[in-house]
Amino acid sequence: MTAPEVNRAFRHWAALLLALVPLVALAAGCTLHDYPQSSLNPQSDYAWSIQHLLEQLTFWVVVIFAFVQLLILYVVIRFRARPGAPMPKPVHGNTALEIAWTIAPAIILALVAVPTVMAIFKTQSKPAAGALQVKVIGHQWWWEFQYPELGVTTAGELHIPVHRPIAFDLETADVIHSFWFPAMGGKRDLIPSRTNHMGFTADSIGTFPGQCAELCGLSHANMRMKLMVETPADFETWVSGQKAPPAEPDSTSLAGHGKLEFANGVCITCHTIDGVSAGILGPNLTHFASRRTFAGSLFESNPHNLGRWLTAPQDQKPGVIMNWKTLGVTLAPEQVNALIAYLQSLK
């Protein structure tokens, strides 16, 4: 290459590298704290299987990309047009080259297919012996979690012990939903008249957000959930609390008045509170105050949010069945305050 050509090539590549600097800076600014539902933060055996597969495939993609780019660069420089050079001679076929570019894709496909198939078998295998059974039921737009072995039912917040295999039976009460905790692994659909299965073993203690990943109606984006991964001792403590009967408020207290409002109003037609009501359309409220969130894990559980919800639930969550306008219900402020007190006593 002549000196001017070398200078032009150098300036070209220098400009390209400088253009990549802002992209690297932007990528460095993307943290898991800002994106808690990132699937690139594996916290279970299922999620690690997917992560390892992603890393392997990314490695080979980068290798292939780099090889192709270097080959293109070599061809551009080696066979560039030169002043006074004759026209290149036409050629017909090259047996060695044709064999090479037939074998190379086959090798590449094998490098992709083998780890992919291994990951599929690993993530679709049956849970290990001794797995904790959890029945997941998707509703528009909240999640119900039943523990058949433990006799516990809750909603919105799933509690599991760390390092113990969990076997999920996935069902839906209405339309198709999709069960997904990004940190724990892949999505699995809940299909009407069918029970799907999946399982994972969490390896880290903490609280992890989840989401319905299948468009299921007006409040699909509001169909959220929380996963609480706890030590075995903390999990047993939670189970004991859930098995206990609901707290009984003093009949003369504000919570006691709230219990009367609950038992004599429309609440009992949809919600279960052990010993008070047995509705099945809405979440089980027996130990409502033990949960950090409510309404499909959409709101933090506190008096302010409960007041807004009980006053006009249809304004807080579009399409919700608990629609006072449709039901012809109007709650006075004193009724709302009493219900808040009662719900917050159910620990």
Q: What is the pLDDT of residues 221-253, one digit of tens each?
A: 999 999 999 999 999 999 999 999 988 999 899
Q: What phi, psi does 147 have (nearest 5°)? A: -115, 90
Q: How many CA atoms lie within 13 A of 41 on its CB side?
A: 16
- CA pair distance 341, 324, nearest whole angstrom: 20
Region 273-300: mean pLDDT is 92
Q: Report whether pLDDT(90) > 90.
A: no
**For the segment 4-36, what is each residue's pLDDT rounded down to a tens digit?**
554 565 566 656 666 665 665 555 555 555 677
pLDDT at 130: 86
CB atoms within 10 A of CB 190: 26
- pTM equals 0.81
State the burial class of residue 334 (Cβ atoms within 10 Å of its Cβ: 0-12, 13-18, 19+).
Answer: exposed
Q: What is the CATH number of domain 254-343?
A: 2.60.40.420
What proportion of the chain, given as a percentage, has pLDDT over 90?
Answer: 65
pLDDT at 237: 96
Q: Do domains 31-244 and 254-343 have the same CATH topology?
A: yes
pLDDT at 13: 61
Q: Report whether pLDDT(101) > 90.
A: no
The one-letter amino acid code at 169 reads: D
Region 35-47: mean pLDDT is 86
**For the segment 186-222, what is each residue's pLDDT rounded down to a tens digit?**
899 999 999 999 999 999 999 999 999 999 999 999 9
**For the segment 115-160, what is each residue's pLDDT rounded down to a tens digit?**
999 999 988 888 888 899 999 999 999 999 999 999 999 999 999 9
Helices of type H across 214-286: 232-243, 254-264
State the pLDDT confidence band at 37, using cuts at 50, 70 and 90: confident
CA distances from 312 to 43, 80, 86, 152 (A): 38, 73, 83, 30
Task: Find all residues with CB under 8 Å of 171, minimum gap 6, and list them.
Answer: 135, 136, 137, 138, 190, 194, 195, 196
Structure tokens at 311: 């006053």
pLDDT at 84: 82
Q: What is the DSSP letter of 288?
A: G
Average pLDDT, the chain: 88
State the pLDDT confidence band at 75, using cuts at 50, 70 and 90: confident
The one-letter amino acid code at 197 reads: H
pLDDT at 164: 95
Q: Report whether pLDDT(2) > 80.
A: no
3-class DSSP state for residue 180?
coil
Domain ranges of the chain: 1-30, 31-244, 254-343
pLDDT at 242: 95
pLDDT at 225: 96
The CATH architecture assigned to 31-244 reads Sandwich (2.60)
pLDDT at 284: 94
3-class DSSP state for residue 211?
strand
Between 266 and 135, where is the model more confident?
Answer: 135
143 strand-pairing partners: 138
3-class DSSP state for residue 229?
strand
